Amino acid sequence: MSPADPTPTPRDARMTWRRFVDRAMAGVMLLCSVLVMAPLFLVVYFLFREGASALDLNFFLQLPKPTGETGGGMAHAIVGTIELLLMAVVLGVPFGVLGGIYLAEYGSDRTSYWVRFAADVLNGVPSIVWGMVVYALLVVPFKTFSAYAGGVALGLMMVPLVMRTTEEVLVLVPQSYREAGLALGIAKWKIILVIVVRAAMKGIVTGVLIALARVAGETAPLLFTALGNNFWNRNLAQPIAALPLQIFSYATSPYDDWHRQAWAGALVLILMILGLNLLVRFLSRDRNFD
Amino acid sequence: MAPPSRLPDTAFRWLALLAALTIVGLIALVGWELYGGARLAVAKFGVKFLVNSTWDPVTDTYGAWPFIFGTLVSSLIALVIAVPLGVGTALYLTEMAPGRLRQPIIMVIEMLAAVPSVIFGLWGIFVLLPWLRDHLFPWLQKLFGFLPIFQGAIYGVSMLAGGIIVAIMILPIVTSVSREILRSVPNLQREAAYALGATHWEVIRIAVLSYARRGLFGAMVLGLGRALGETMAVTMVIGNRPEVSASLFAPGYTLASVIANEFTEATTDLYLSSLFELGLVLVAVTLLVNIIAQLMLRSLAGSGSGKVT
């Protein structure tokens, strides 16, 4: 039937309907995508609108003022977050990277299948649970909340993340690199450390940064480990402040000025995390080996 | 090849194995510490703990039902919202989106995944809750007020608000896992349907969705696992009242948020122990759900290294 056919047949009507459904569903899918992206834009928009005005130099340099006084900052929480993340790296990276090496280089057996499985399952454990576990492990025996406990909680969360990403990049290193090393008579552990890991270094660092960005915003594991405080802490065996903790306690407080500071803190935190993510993007632009 | 000592090699291998096994050790540690903390409550309340709906620190009586109920309901709401949106977006990305739009959309979704829970909570308190209270909830009540789930007073903080915020938080993982699944549908499937004269949508419905059904279910289960354990954002908007109410406008409480709120305030040993038992319930459920999700997604990926996190 030609397009000029004057009388529509049932076949035409059916086709028109099918075309209509096709277009409609395409619209629905596009709408879904827009709705999925909307929260990010809304959150970022409000973070800048509410947070930027509360952000000044004092925010980065001062401690919180006593309740009722306006002003002050979150200097201690920014430094606290950095300290906690450093401790997490010290704990999480060696275990994660070594475990990843095992999975990629040694494990072709059932052990590595189960370790991989366990790592993926462990990634799904709610972060608040890590807080409880570390509370029982470190806070109860030492009878005090401490920066160490907070660092350990974040570090434990990093282990499975780093392990999986390390494994994934090591597997990408071409087999010929290893064979070249073997042909030279180099011991396997040296081949791994000097050739394979070095070749994959950028990818491993990227994985660590991803894990770091993921735990940097965690509040729940710190609630009963690092606890938070309102002053400078020079003793890691004492409670320490962290940006997410400070945001939480200020956001749920009844004071307007604290709400403003919570927005400012959130803006700083999200800029830190998005900064880490951009760094990851930049680093992983050319991760292929060919 | 005797001369070079094999000792360093063996030592390094064992060291790496030990590091890999810390993962298994960590799972054991989680179970052991939580059980250790919960022992007192387990001995005192037994199985009744799970079904008792009184949570009263004053009389030292503890039951987990309001929190189990709240966790299940808020997670279900989250799934009802997030799964259609996530799968729709994944379909758009794999089947429809023009090449130059694809990468930016994926990047936005990845950035959404990077936003910390506490920031969603902050935004939830000051932006989402007022809007829900003044606009969406009254509108829902006007249209669907005859349903028991949309009756009762509107405070803003509510089970529904908690579900919505959790939905936003699990959208990225549901979307990205669904996308992986859809990308693994062989093109032959699509071509066969096109050859039969199917429209674009019919190809998706007949060839892609029916092929990917099991995998998408796996993505949903994985999303459920995340939803069950969400803590901070939910705590900030759900209202934190241990009540079982039919209305979604009523405040609720979840396992994770009661732990977050009351753990450092637990005054008696039994109180603390009960909170540990809540943690044990939470871990047991999320581990179970995650194991199911991983098994489903792995059986699809075929070999061991499913790239799903």
Question: What is the per-residue pLDDT across B87-128, written as a single tens digit (0 to 9) for each?
Answer: 999 999 999 888 899 999 999 999 999 999 999 999 999 999
- By the CB < 8 Å criterion, does A194 face chain B? no
Model confidence pLDDT, tens digit, residues A144-163: 999 999 999 999 999 999 99
Q: Which of A19, A37, A54 is the last residue of a domain?
A: A54
Q: If residue B115 lies in a helix (H) or strand (E), which one and from where to where?
A: none
Does any domain span residue A1? Answer: no
Model confidence pLDDT, tens digit, residues A79-111: 999 999 999 999 999 999 999 999 999 877 788
Range of the domain at A153: 61-286
Tell me the percentage of chain B whose pLDDT exceeds 90: 81
Torsional sign, CA A227, A228, A230, A231 = positive
* A121 and A240 share one domain: yes
**Residue A230, class by beta-carbon neighbours within 10 Å (0-12 exposed, 13-18 middle, 19+ buried)?**
middle
Q: Do A248 and B232 touch (CB under 8 A)?
A: yes
User: Which pLDDT score, from 0 to 100, does residue A1 have?
Assistant: 47
User: Which pLDDT score, from 0 to 100, does residue A5 have?
Assistant: 56
Does any domain span residue A6? Answer: no
Mean pLDDT of the region B158-169:
96
Query: Is A6's pLDDT higher than 80?
Result: no
Model confidence pLDDT, tens digit, residues A24-38: 999 999 999 999 999
Confidence of residue B297 (pLDDT cuts 50, 70, 90): confident
User: Which pLDDT score, from 0 to 100, does residue B304 have?
Assistant: 38
Contact criterion met (CB below 8 Å) for A74 and B213: no
* A20 and A108 share one domain: no
Tell me the percentage of chain A whose pLDDT exceeds 90: 66
User: Which pLDDT score, from 0 to 100, does residue A71 have?
Assistant: 79
* A99 and A34 share one domain: no
Q: Which residues contact B209 (CB under 8 A, 6 or more apart)?
A: B91, B216
Distance from CA of B166 to the nearest CA of A (A): 12
Query: Is B227's pLDDT higher than 80?
Result: yes
Q: Do B34 and A132 touch (CB under 8 A)?
A: yes
Does any domain span residue A4? Answer: no
* A274 and A164 share one domain: yes
Tokens of B31: 């179970």
* A89 and A16 share one domain: no
Query: Is B305's pLDDT higher than 50?
Result: no
- Please indicate whether residue B60 or residue A69 has the higher confidence score (pLDDT): B60
Mean pLDDT of the region A59-77:
84
Query: Is B141's pLDDT higher than 50?
Result: yes
* A43 and A78 share one domain: no
* Domain extents in chain B: 67-262
User: Which pLDDT score, from 0 to 100, does residue A252 have?
Assistant: 92
* A107 and A32 share one domain: no
Distance from CA of B198 to the nearest CA of A (A): 9
Model confidence pLDDT, tens digit, residues B10-32: 999 999 999 999 999 999 999 99
User: Which pLDDT score, from 0 to 100, does residue B37 have?
Assistant: 93
Mind giving me the DSSP string for B247-283? -TTS-B--HHHHHHHHGGG--SHHHHHHHHHHHHHHH
A contact test, residue of B21, B87, B115, B277 with most A CBs within 10 A: B115
DSSP class of residue A266 equals H
**Residue A66, class by beta-carbon neighbours within 10 Å (0-12 exposed, 13-18 middle, 19+ buried)?**
exposed
Query: Is B301's pLDDT higher than 70?
Result: no
Query: Is A8's pLDDT higher than 70?
Result: no
Query: Is B203's pLDDT higher than 60?
Result: yes
- By the CB < 8 Å criterion, does A258 face chain B? no
* A227 and A257 share one domain: yes
CA A50, distance to chain mean position in Å, is: 24
What fold is seen in the domain B67-262?
MetI-like fold (1.10.3720)
Weakest-pLDDT range from A3-12, A243-252, B237-246:
A3-12
Confidence of residue A13 (pLDDT cuts 50, 70, 90): confident
Mean predicted lDDT score pLDDT of chain A = 89
A259 vs A272: CA distance, rounded Å: 20
A contact test, residue of B123, B136, B253 with most A CBs within 10 A: B123
DSSP class of residue B61 equals E
SS3 for A31-84, per residue? HHHHHHHHHHHHHHHHHHHHHHHHCCHHHHHCCECCCCCCCECCHHHHHHHHHH
Distance from CA of A52 to the nearest CA of B (A): 15
User: Which pLDDT score, from 0 to 100, does residue A7 have?
Assistant: 66
- Please name which of B217, B124, B212, B222 lies closest in space to residue B173, comparing C-alpha atoms: B222
- Please indicate whether residue A203 or residue A72 has the higher confidence score (pLDDT): A203
Cβ contacts of A108 on chain B, cutoff 8 Å = none
- By the CB < 8 Å criterion, does A29 face chain B? yes
Tell me the percentage of chain B whose pLDDT exceeds 70: 96
Kindly provide the b/e burial profile for residues B70-88, where b requires at least 16 CB atoms within 10 angstroms of the residue's own CB.
Answer: bbbbbbebbbebbbebbbb
pTM of the complete model: 0.91
Mean pLDDT of the region B49-69:
92
Mean pLDDT of the region A209-232:
91
Confidence of residue B74 (pLDDT cuts 50, 70, 90): very high
What is the count of structural domains for chain A?
2
* A39 and A69 share one domain: no
- Please name which of B231, B238, B172, B125 lies closest in space to residue A46, comparing C-alpha atoms: B125
Three-state SS for A227? strand
Three-state SS for B1? coil
The enclosing domain of A258 has a CATH number of: 1.10.3720.10
Tell me the percentage of chain A whose pLDDT exceeds 70: 95
Does any domain span residue A5? Answer: no
- By the CB < 8 Å criterion, does A114 face chain B? yes
Out of A29, A115, A156, the one facing B91 most closely (by C-beta) is A29
Mean pLDDT of the region B72-86:
97
